[in-house]
């Protein structure tokens, strides 16, 4: 017997929405937060004269910015293609 709630609400659509929301928000937050952390660490390491660590942090920040931009582009593509 199908539960009444499953008839009124498309449970699959709801499950996809919940899952996609969590995955997208988590991925974007991690990318942006790591980019910010990388930038902050770059400033710290530069001031302390640790050149290698500074550039490593900057590279991490750059990669994360690119990842965040790619996710933004994907979001826009999804919006426009709908």
Partner 1 sequence: MDTHLILVIVVATALAFDFTNGFHDTANVVATSISTGAIAPKAAVAFAAILNFVGAFISIEVAATIASDVVDPSAIAGPEALNIVFAGLMGAIAWNLVTWYYGLPSSSSHALIGGIVGATIAAVGTGAVEAEGLVGKVLLPAIIAPILAFAVAALAITISYRIAGRQRPGPVARGYRLGQVVSGGLLALAHGTNDAQKTMGVITLALIADGALAPGSDPPFWVIVSAATAIALGTYSGGWRIIKTTGFRIIKMDPAQGFSAQGAGAAVIMASSHFGFPLSTTHVINGGVMGSGIAKRLSAVRWGVAGNIVTAWLVTLPAAAAIGALVYGLTLLFGGGTLGPVVISVASILALTVLFGLNRRAGTATATG
Cβ contact 38:55 at 8 Å: no
> Binding to partner 1 by residue 48, rule CB under 8 A?
no
Cβ at position 69, least distance to partner 1 in Å: 9
Return the number of the residue (7 or 52) whose C-beta is nearest partner 1. Answer: 7
Residue pointed to by tokens 């659509």: 13
Of 48, 51, 59, 75, which lies in the binding site for partner 1, with binding defined by CB under 8 A?
A: 75
Q: Could you say whether residue 76 binds partner 1 (CB under 8 A)? A: yes
């Amino acid at each position: 017997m199908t539960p009444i709630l499953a008839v009124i609400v498309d449970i699959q659509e709801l499950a996809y929405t919940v899952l996609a929301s969590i995955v997208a928000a988590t991925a974007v937050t991690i990318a942006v937060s790591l980019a910010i952390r990388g930038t902050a660490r770059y400033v710290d390491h530069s001031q302390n004269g640790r050149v290698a660590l500074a550039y490593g942090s900057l590279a991490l920040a750059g990669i994360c910015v690119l990842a965040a931009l790619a996710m933004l582009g994907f979001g826009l593509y999804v919006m426009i293609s709908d």
